Amino acid sequence: MVFVETKLDGLFILEAEKIEDERGFFARTFCRHEFEARGLNPQVAQCSTSYNKKKGTLRGMHYQVAPGEETKLVRCTMGAIFDVAVDLRRDSPTFRQWVAVELTADNRKMLYIPRGFAHGFQTLVDQAEVYYQISEFYDPKSARGLRWDDPALGIDWPSVESRTISARDLSYSDFAA
């Protein structure tokens, strides 16, 4: 696996190293030892899938606070998404900055999102599926969210004719610094 650093400390884009032959290819998508060697959290408490029918579906921006703070490893297994992570660590020099990466079934890239980050995505095509490995169990008491279009974050989402956003995600308030 190739770990590509981003401008946000601890946030990595992961690329599979393919071993190809006449049958196709084989690639590792997770290795506890490789994560530990880089000081990254390899714990997986649960895995989840998000299926999204329409292009322009936006989910986020979600995170969990202590004691349920979570690390995520996100991959698009069908279709394509614009995946975003926002640094919410108040002591970080990149506090409130964000990184976006296009994750697709074809490019097989993954995004490693450490504790202290909010996460969300927008589908770029109809029928997109996202697979998550999550370090902690979901805790409704720890669950939080940020408004997807909060001007304090300035996320530059791809334009679409229409967006599908849940009532819950639309109810989040602006980020309080």
62 flagged as catalytic: yes
Q: Is residue 101 part of a domain?
A: yes
For residue range 116-143, list pLDDT tens digits in order.
999 999 999 999 999 999 999 999 999 9
172 flagged as catalytic: no
From the candidates 112, 132, 138, 172, give the one annotated as an active-site residue: 132
Q: Is residue 33 part of a domain?
A: no
Residue 177 has pLDDT above 70, yes or no: no
Task: Return the pLDDT at 175.
Answer: 83
Q: Is residue 23 part of a domain?
A: no
Contact 103, 111 (CB under 8 A): yes
For residue range 56-114, list pLDDT tens digits in order.
999 999 999 999 999 999 999 999 999 999 999 999 999 999 999 999 999 999 999 99
Q: Is residue 9 part of a domain?
A: no
Q: Is residue 39 part of a domain?
A: no
Count the residues in the chain: 177
Q: What is the mean pLDDT of residues 146-173?
A: 95
Task: Return the pLDDT at 109.
Answer: 98
Task: Return the pLDDT at 160.
Answer: 92
From the candidates 33, 62, 138, 172, give the one annotated as an active-site residue: 62
Task: Return the pLDDT at 176.
Answer: 77
Q: Is residue 52 part of a domain?
A: yes
For residue 164, give its domain range.
Answer: 44-171
The pLDDT > 70 percentage for the chain reads 99
Q: Could you please report the per-residue DSSP string of 107-129?
A: T--EEEE-TTEEEEEEESSSSEE
Q: Is residue 156 part of a domain?
A: yes
Instruction: Give the sign of the dihedral formed by CA 105, CA 111, CA 112, CA 115.
Output: negative
Number of domains in the chain: 1
Quote the pTM value. 0.94
Query: Which run of H or of E encompasses 58?
Result: strand 57-64
Q: Is residue 15 part of a domain?
A: no
CATH number at residue 70: 2.60.120.10
Residues in contact with 77: Cβ distance below 8 Å, sequence separation at least 6, in sequence order: 49, 105, 129, 130, 131
